[in-house]
Amino acid sequence: MKKRLVWLIFFVLFCNKLPIGEDELNLRGDFTAQYVDFTPYFTATEYKNIPLGSSSNLVVGKKSDYESRILLRFNFPSSLEQGLDEIKLILYHNNNLENDPVTFSIHLLTESFDEAEATWYHRTQTEDWDTGGGDYQEDSLRFGESEGDSLVVYFNYIELEQIKAAPGMIIIPQDSGFVGFYSRESGKPPIIQLIKNDEVTILTLDDDCHILTGPTPYPTEDWIGSGMAYRNYVKFLFDTLLVDDDDKKVVFAELTVKPSEVFGMRDTIEIAVRQLLEPLDDFDTPTSPLIDLKKFAIDDTIFTLDVIKHVQKAIDYPDSNFGFFIYLSPENYDISTVKFEAVSHHLTVGYILPPDER
């Protein structure tokens, strides 16, 4: 025991000539973070009418300058059985969304569409609709209202033959509100049931999507949104952190922004951030992998995001500071919009200095 004590005293006296304390911290570096506040150098909103064929939802409705319509095309056999007892189109509500009762009409399309490319203005990658919102017969097959757990529409045999001969059908809202159904990308896609003598034949989808038109932000407004995709571009300049050659280590970078108006079909939203890899050109400017993704209640009064990766890169490589996009994730799930308060973006950066050489 005495031998161990002697060795311990020897180690303290001779091996550690600089006890840990204020002098030692000064030699190793100042580990107390220094904080700087920033306001944006520039902000803007980039937006795009994106194809929604990969969405797990089909949304129909209109409100607040939005309108969404559903396109369906079913896979029919070469011939249809005669003497059917019932013919039913069934769409299943997604009850994870806040659904309104919506009155609608169903029309036959006069032009085909590609679900991977169809938007309010384009029916395929290379061809436009003659009229924005789809080309369809003026006379409707049916009117109805969406309520309950599913939408069920009955057709007769003549109408079924017309649906088979057409390049698809379109569901158009007739009053205010939105309702969301599961698409074929989910577990409960729309179907057509053919019933005869208690035997049920299911017709499945070849293509489905919803197409959407929405409002246009003013140049000075900052929006994010899904369905109609809005991305908020933000760029900060970090000149005050580049006044010397110290290799600063960023330990804190908190971006806060306040919403002024929020519209959505869920009680939560997810906000993501990606850095731009090139100078801003448009909505499709290449971006990095995610640097932050957070979920918020739709009635939150402030959103806080971590952009430490962006700030550290901007300090280390100032010529690569191209700013970043804030956006809703995923952008094709439902219809949501967040409008930010003017001049509400605020960034606080905390950093420490490198240690001095001993």
pLDDT tens for residues 149-203? 899 999 999 999 999 999 999 999 999 999 999 999 988 999 999 999 989 999 9
Verify that 238 and 324 share a domain, yes or no.
Answer: yes
Q: What is the pLDDT of residue 78?
A: 86
**Domain ranges, residue 156:** 57-213
Six token digits for residue 20: 């840990």
pTM of the model: 0.87
Q: Residue 337 domain-assigned?
A: yes
Q: What is the pLDDT of residue 357?
A: 61
Q: Residue 116 domain-assigned?
A: yes
Domain end: 213, 228, 243, which one? 213
Verify that 265 and 329 share a domain, yes or no.
Answer: yes
Domain end: 175, 193, 213, which one? 213
**Average pLDDT along the chain:** 90
- Give 306-356 pLDDT, tens digit per residue: 999 999 999 999 999 999 999 999 999 999 999 999 999 999 999 998 776
Quote the CA–CA distance of 323 and 307 in Å, as a whole number.
11
Verify that 62 and 206 share a domain, yes or no.
Answer: yes
Spell out the residues 6+ positions from residue 272 whose beta carbon is closer than 8 angstroms to its own. 290, 292, 293, 326, 327, 328, 329
Are 211 and 118 in contact, with CB atoms under 8 Å apart? yes
Verify that 27 and 76 share a domain, yes or no.
Answer: no
Q: What is the pLDDT of residue 12?
A: 44
Are 232 and 340 in contact, with CB atoms under 8 Å apart? yes
Asked whether the predicted pLDDT for residue 30 surpasses 90, the reply is no
Q: What is the pLDDT of residue 140?
A: 96
Q: What is the pLDDT of residue 245?
A: 62
What mean pLDDT comes out for the span 76-88? 90
Are 158 and 57 in contact, with CB atoms under 8 Å apart? no
Six token digits for residue 169: 């059908």
Are 201 and 193 in contact, with CB atoms under 8 Å apart? yes
Domain end: 148, 181, 213, which one? 213
- Give 54-64 pLDDT, tens digit per residue: 999 999 999 98
Verify that 237 and 165 share a domain, yes or no.
Answer: no
Q: Residue 14 domain-assigned?
A: no
Verify that 283 and 149 share a domain, yes or no.
Answer: no
- Give 202-233 pLDDT, tens digit per residue: 999 999 999 999 999 999 999 999 999 999 99
Nearest to 149 by CA among 86, 192, 107, 101: 101
Which helix H or strand E contains 25, and what residues bound it? helix 22-28
Q: Confidence class of residue 235 from pLDDT cuts 50, 70 and 90?
A: very high
Q: What is the pLDDT of residue 355?
A: 73
The CA-atom distances, in angstroms, between 345 and each of 43, 197, 233, 271 are 9, 65, 11, 14
Q: Residue 203 domain-assigned?
A: yes
Q: What is the pLDDT of residue 11?
A: 45
Q: What is the CATH number of the domain that holds 325?
A: 2.60.120
Among left, alpha and beta (phi > 0; psi -120 to 50; other), residue 65 is left
Q: Residue 33 domain-assigned?
A: yes
Verify that 23 and 63 share a domain, yes or no.
Answer: no
Verify that 118 and 239 share a domain, yes or no.
Answer: no
Q: Confidence class of residue 148 from pLDDT cuts 50, 70 and 90?
A: confident
Q: Residue 281 domain-assigned?
A: yes
Q: Residue 9 domain-assigned?
A: no
What mean pLDDT comes out for the span 224-250? 89
Q: What is the pLDDT of residue 333?
A: 92
Q: What is the pLDDT of residue 358?
A: 57
Q: Residue 78 domain-assigned?
A: yes
Verify that 250 and 186 share a domain, yes or no.
Answer: no
- Name the residue with higher pLDDT: 134 or 26: 134
- Give 281-306 pLDDT, tens digit per residue: 999 999 999 999 999 999 999 999 99
DSSP 341: P
Six token digits for residue 62: 């209109």
Six token digits for residue 255: 């971006």
The CA-atom distances, in angstroms, between 348 and each of 36, 42, 131, 242 are 6, 17, 48, 16
Nearest to 251 by CA among 38, 37, 34: 34
Verify that 135 and 151 share a domain, yes or no.
Answer: yes
The CA radius of gyration of the chain, in Å to the nearest whole number, is 29
Verify that 72 and 187 share a domain, yes or no.
Answer: yes
Asked whether the predicted pLDDT for residue 33 surpasses 60, the reply is yes
Verify that 203 and 221 share a domain, yes or no.
Answer: no
Overall number of domains in the chain? 2
Amino acid sitting at position 229: A
